[in-house]
Amino acid sequence: MSSALSIRDVGKTYAGDVNALDGCSLDVEPGELHVIAGRSGCGKTTLLNAIAGFHAITDGEILLDGDPLPPEPGGDRVVVFQHNALFPWRTVLENVIYGPVVQGRLTKPQARAAARERLAHAGLTDVADQYPAALSSGLQRRAEIVRALMNEPRVLLLDEPFRGMDQLTRSVMHESLLEFHARERTTVVFITHDIDEAVFLGSRVSVMTARPGRVKATIDVDLPRPRDFRMLTEPEFTALTGRVMEELA
């Protein structure tokens, strides 16, 4: 299910009068892969955590399909973090089926069948019965995204999930994420400080100011899909990364 996300004049002040967000507004369309780009410390993770329900906002409102989001985490919003969060004592398949089985949405046989289909699409069939420690960082992150999608969230939130990976692994993961999105059409909010990553992945890129964070500009990325690494050298790609850089300056 694809959902629309609306962020309206959101502010967040932490104890000690640390103003992380101020008047932050943004609309994410149903089924969009929307990237939020900004320098470290600009408040983009604070905004993502507010959408996820990990903390309350000070001002404004966040709406999902026109309804206010509850101020606590929920299954309608699933987060994939920067670091591996798979249960190390469970196999990949057991990790992937955990959510829908615990929630009672699927029986174990139903969940296993659905999970094996999604793992096959993700190229993870051969590692389904292995434990996370046996997998590379790229395979672990791919399994985490499959696990997140098994929960059928209305919004998938990605917190710089490929940070720290080598360039080759990042390139493979970028194309894998685009394949996931083309197949699932889940609404995705992806945050990054990497301009090339933002433009390569995004349907649109919203650029945040320095703290207190607010959206300075939203840029349409009208590059054709499907996308692959050869696009990185195209003049249209370079022009778009230049526009994002100018907004970040």
pTM of the shown model: 0.93
Q: What is the mean pLDDT of residues 169-183?
A: 91
pLDDT digits (tens, 9 = 90+) for 91-119: 999 999 999 999 888 999 999 999 999 99
pLDDT digits (tens, 9 = 90+) for 110-169: 999 999 999 998 889 999 999 999 999 889 989 999 999 999 999 999 999 998 888 888
Which region, left, alpha or beta, applies to residue 167 given φ > 0 means left and ψ of -120 to 50 means alpha? alpha
Torsion 110-113-118-119 (CA) sign: positive
Cβ–Cβ < 8 Å for 218, 204: yes
Domains and CATH numbers, the chain: 1-73+155-249 (3.40.50.300), 77-152 (no CATH)
Interacting residues of 213 by C-beta distance below 8 A, sequence separation 6+: 20, 21, 22, 24, 38, 42, 43, 44, 46, 47
Higher-confidence position of 33 and 15: 33
44/206 Cα distance (integer angstroms): 10
